[in-house]
Amino acid sequence: MRQAVFSSPGHLEVTEAPIPRPGEQDVLVRVESSGVCGSDRAIFVGAHPASVPVVLGHEFAGVVTDCGAAVTDLRPGDRIVVDPNIQCGRCTYCRRGKVQLCSNNKPLGIARPGAFAEYTLVPQSNAYVLPDEVSFDDAALVEPLACCIRGIQQADVGLGATVVVLGAGPIGIMLAQLARLRGASAVVSVDPLADRRVLAGHLAADVTLDSSRPDEVRDVVMRLTGGEGADVVIEASGRTDVAQQSLDLVQPGGTVVWFGACPESDRVSVPPFWVNDREVTIRGSNINPYTHQTALALIERGRVHVSDLVSDRIELEGLATVLDGSGPTSTGKVLVKPAGVA
């Protein structure tokens, strides 16, 4: 089989390898579609840790082709979507039900071989049967949507809330859609790219703003909220300067969620007195605890629309230029098709 192996920052090679054999609790999956995540790009440039060498790719769907001896819930031919996070179930956090904080999490595509390959192994407990109505390409967005659901849970969006989402890539637009589903009365989407703003307006946002004009963004948000600021501000770009900007847009008693993965060494200036005096809540959001099934249901039932978020489909040979940014600029989700683009 062919696989794209990451070995060190800036180095990715498509190689041939034997098709792996499933362990007792594993299923062998023929990968049909796998999304490129911002964390894949961060790993490629050395800004995010990963076991090396490793096959990247953790947002994916495919077909079961073989099963381990102890697999009881799946069989060859089943279409599945995958939760890539493999928690230990034994650490303090897992035993408290906080699996997203597992001390020993071993994600596929980061700590174990992932889905930028024609075949990969998946524990049966991490596989979800895919309804026939959901395409493999849509299913590749189940994992990022599951993470977005966690972000909205952390934001605690209430009925009638004004929500500002900073960033209108696939993640930002899914967060905006979820904010609407949670009852937000106004959703503001902010991004520097006009085509992203148009798509955000089509799918979820009541107002779209150009992030390259921060003063205008603040003026509009304050005007919409009678000078108070937004109930919820979600940073969804992974940029530290945008995380800083989020603090200027939230109202007293409001909530800021830093959802995007900013570089680990970056810092934001937050005055403790300001946080205390205004009772502002600043929260993080990590992976997808118990949200995968919900994400799949929302896509299956058409409550969250993801098809329009896909901008490019590539083969394994085109992956390196997507990860290093030297290829054509993609404004939406890039899907890798290991078996080839039809």
Q: Which of 230, 260, 236, 235 is nearest to 245 (CA)?
A: 235
Res 106: pLDDT? 97
Per-residue pLDDT reduced to its tens digit, 43-65: 999 988 999 999 999 999 999 99
Query: What's the confidence (pLDDT) of residue 281?
Result: 98
CATH placement of domain 153-284:
3.40.50.720
Is pLDDT at 132 greater than 80 in this prediction?
A: yes
Pick the CATH number of 2-141+306-336 from 3.90.180.10, 3.40.250.10, 3.40.50.2000, 3.20.20.120: 3.90.180.10
Whether pTM > 0.95 for this model: the answer is: yes
Task: Please report the pLDDT score of residue 330 as a whole number.
Answer: 79
- Look up residue 214 and give its two tokens: 């921060």
For the chain, give every domain's residue range: 2-141+306-336, 153-284
Phi, psi of 296 (to 5 degrees): -65, -40
Q: How does pLDDT run across 221-236, given as a tens digit for each residue? A: 999 999 999 999 999 9
Q: In angstroms, rounded to a whole number, what is the distance separating the alpha carbons of residues 89 and 86?
A: 9
pLDDT at 342: 75
pLDDT at 331: 86
Residue 99 has a pLDDT of 98
Please say if the pLDDT value at position 327 is more than 80.
Answer: no
DSSP state of 308: G
- Equal fold, 2-141+306-336 vs 153-284: no
Give the three-state DSSP class for 330.
Answer: coil
What Rg, from alpha-carbon coordinates, does the chain have?
20
The terminus-to-terminus CA distance of the chain in angstroms comes to 18
Phi, psi of 292 (to 5 degrees): -65, -45
- Helix (H) or strand (E) holding 41, with range, is helix 38-44
Q: Which CA distances in Å does 281 have to 78, 117, 238?
A: 43, 41, 19
